[in-house]
Structure 1
Amino acid sequence: MDLSLPRLRMLRELHRRGTITAAATALHYTASAVSQQLAQLERDVGARLFERRGRRVQLTDLGVLLAEHAEEILSSVERATQALEEAGESVTAKLTAGVWASVASGLLPDALNSLARTHPGVEVRTRELAPEATAAAVRDGALDLSFVIDYSNYPMTWDPGLERAVIAVERLYAAVPAGVVPAASVMLAELAEQPWILSPPRSHFGHAARLACQSAGFEPRVVHEVEEQATAMAMVAAGLGVTLVSDLGLALRPPAVDIIALGDALTRTVSVASRTNTARRAALLLVVDAVRTSATEKGLGADSPVPAPAVPEDPTPEVPAAPGVS
């Protein structure tokens, strides 16, 4: 009997998630591809692993038994891979990391270039996901590591099967159309009458931003819901509202946007999440060290105290206030 590891991984996900569609989404395959591979696994085993219950597929007792063994097999393969990496004279590994836009543009380029020079055998591939989805993808084995965030007013629920290494601490700023806020700093309450551009409340950032506004005594009037800081700032530049932006997001700022320090202290912590049984993996530790160094060089090191909010130097010429914005 020849048991394919990718097919066992699909079986494990089906057992965990209950539907082929959910398993396919977690593994970044189509439902049709997963269904075909599971049918082939059943032929490989020579016994029924699944049965149809209406439109759903349910594991038979034998299917459940094999899925439980799949957990052990895949964990053993992971441990063997880690042992082989550590036994060599130099570290060689391929890792997949979950990222989002500001991390991918603000931290990874310097970190991965440095890693390529010092440890060319470590290859890091990235997959962009919503920050809320990256930790689950690590837990389920779809990623080796991911970047996750905690806001000072909204820490995330932590999975005991994961470990995290703190990488950076970012401040949040107000991003407003040029000329709208003439002061060097602003309290959130002073922006209560402005239209807001925020990510949806289901996102960590959108929820944390709304909580901050509520703590300042108002409910933000959100006129545009967008996912990315770059998109939000482009809309700010057009005079459509105000938003919040983190240190790493400042590199994405277009002209006609002023960055104003917040009097209401609001920070977020960027960490790398990995599974507990692989957290000491040599290649993973090298990636964490490279990214942490990149953050420190940008003044965002987690070991340094967070400085008082300051207005970042404006890299663009002064631009007149956007028309129609008061």
Structure 2
Amino acid sequence: MELSLHRLRMLRELHRRGTVTAAAAALHYTASAVSQQLAQLERDVGAKLFERLGRRVQLTELGRLLTEHAEEILGSVERATHALEEAQEPLTVKLTAGVWASVASGLLPSALTTLAGEHPGIQVRTRELAPEDTADAVRDGTLDLSFVLDYSDAPTRWDPGLERVMIAVERLHAAVPIGSVPSGAAALADLAEHPWILASPKSHFGKAVRVACARHGFEPKINHEVEEQFTAMAMVASGLGVTLVSDLGLTLRPPGIDVVPLTTPLLRTVSIAYRTKASRRPALNLVIEAVRGAAAELGLAV
């Protein structure tokens, strides 16, 4: 019997997700491709590994047994890869990082330039995801590391299989049409009567801002629901409402808006998440230090 690592990863993801569609989405394949590979895995093993229950797939006893061994096998492959990295001098490693727009524009250019100068063998490729999705992609092995957020008004639950290192602390500021807030600073409640431009409550950012507004005694009147800070600021510049924007988000600031500090600070932390078993990877630690340096240059260091 010859077992394919590729198919074992699919089996592991199916066990985690419960449906072929969800497993395919996590692995960036089509559902039909995953189904075909899992069917081939059954043929390779010569036994039934799955049972369909409506839209979900349940592993048989043999399927669960193989999944347990798949975790061990794939973990051993990852550890072997890390050991080979450590043995090379200089380091020659490719890492994939999960990012979003303000991190990609505000932190990465300086960090990756520094890294390329000091450790040219380390290549960091990026994949833009919603901040809510990056930690899951690290846990699943799709990414080697990712940037993650935590808000003072809406802390997130943390996966015990991941570790995180704090990189930066950002303040949130009010972004308003020019001249619409006359004072040099504003309480959040001062914005209660303005129309708002805000991310959906499904996002960490949208949820955190709504919680903060409720704590200050009002529910924002949201006229426009958009996810990207740059898009929200562009709409503010057109006079369509107000929003909140982070320090890193200000690197994308368009003309035509005022940025007003809040009298009661709203904070969020930016961290790098990685799998616990990857904590000793030299390349990972060098990337973290480069990003920390970039945050320090911006005055955002922890």
TM-score (norm 2): 0.97
Give the corresponding residue for 1:279: 279
Give the corresponding residue for 2:192: 192
Deviation at 1:140, TM superposition (A): 1.7
In structure 2, what is the Cα distance between the partners aligned to 1:137 and 1:54? 26
Contiguous gaps of at least 5 residues in structure 1: 303-326
Deviation at 1:2, TM superposition (A): 2.2
Deviation at 1:52, TM superposition (A): 3.6
- The reply to whether residue 3 of structure 1 matches residue 3 of structure 2 is yes
Structure 2 matches for 1:82-121, cutoff 5 A? 82-121=82-121
Deviation at 1:50, TM superposition (A): 2.4
> Quick check: 2:19–2:55 contact (8 Å CA) kept in 1?
no
- The reply to whether residue 43 of structure 1 matches residue 39 of structure 2 is no
In structure 1, what is the Cα distance between the partners aligned to 2:155 and 2:280? 24
Aligned residues: 302
Give the corresponding residue for 1:70: 70
> Quick check: 2:135–2:273 contact (8 Å CA) kept in 1?
yes
Change (3 A) 1:196 1:54: closer
Give the corresponding residue for 2:155: 155
In structure 1, what is the Cα distance between the partners aligned to 2:287 and 2:4? 29
In structure 1, what is the Cα distance between the partners aligned to 2:34 and 2:120? 34
Deviation at 1:106, TM superposition (A): 0.8
Deviations 1:101-145 (A, max 9, x none): 110111111111221221121111111111111111111222111
TM-score (norm 1): 0.90
Structure 2 matches for 1:20-39, cutoff 5 A? 20-39=20-39
Letter of the 2:254 partner, please give it. Answer: P
Change (3 A) 1:233 1:53: same
What is the root-mean-square deviation of aligned Cα atoms in Å?
Answer: 1.3
Letter of the 1:223 partner, please give it. Answer: N
In structure 1, what is the Cα distance between the partners aligned to 2:83 and 2:14? 28
Letter of the 1:28 partner, please give it. Answer: H
In structure 1, what is the Cα distance between the partners aligned to 2:164 and 2:188? 31
Deviations 1:255-289 (A, max 9, x none): 11110111121111100011111122111101101
Letter of the 1:5 partner, please give it. Answer: L
- The reply to whether residue 246 of structure 1 matches residue 246 of structure 2 is yes
In structure 2, what is the Cα distance between the partners aligned to 1:259 and 1:76? 50
In structure 2, what is the Cα distance between the partners aligned to 1:53 and 1:197? 43
Deviations 1:165-190 (A, max 9, x none): 11011111000011111221111111
The 10-residue stretch of structure 1 (76-85 or 36-45) with the greater mean CA deviation from structure 2: 36-45
In structure 2, what is the Cα distance between the partners aligned to 1:54 and 1:163? 36
Secondary structure of 1:83's counterpart equals: helix
Contiguous gaps of at least 5 residues in structure 2: none
Secondary structure of 2:143's counterpart equals: coil
Give the corresponding residue for 1:173: 173
Give the corresponding residue for 2:58: 58
Deviation at 1:56, TM superposition (A): 4.1
Letter of the 2:219 partner, please give it. Answer: E
- The reply to whether residue 260 of structure 1 matches residue 257 of structure 2 is no
Structure 2 matches for 1:208-247, cutoff 5 A? 208-247=208-247
Secondary structure of 1:186's counterpart equals: coil
Deviations 1:273-317 (A, max 9, x none): 111111221111011011111111111111xxxxxxxxxxxxxxx
Give the corresponding residue for 1:308: none
Secondary structure of 2:241's counterpart equals: coil
Deviations 1:209-253 (A, max 9, x none): 111111111111111111110110011011110000000000111
Secondary structure of 2:261's counterpart equals: strand
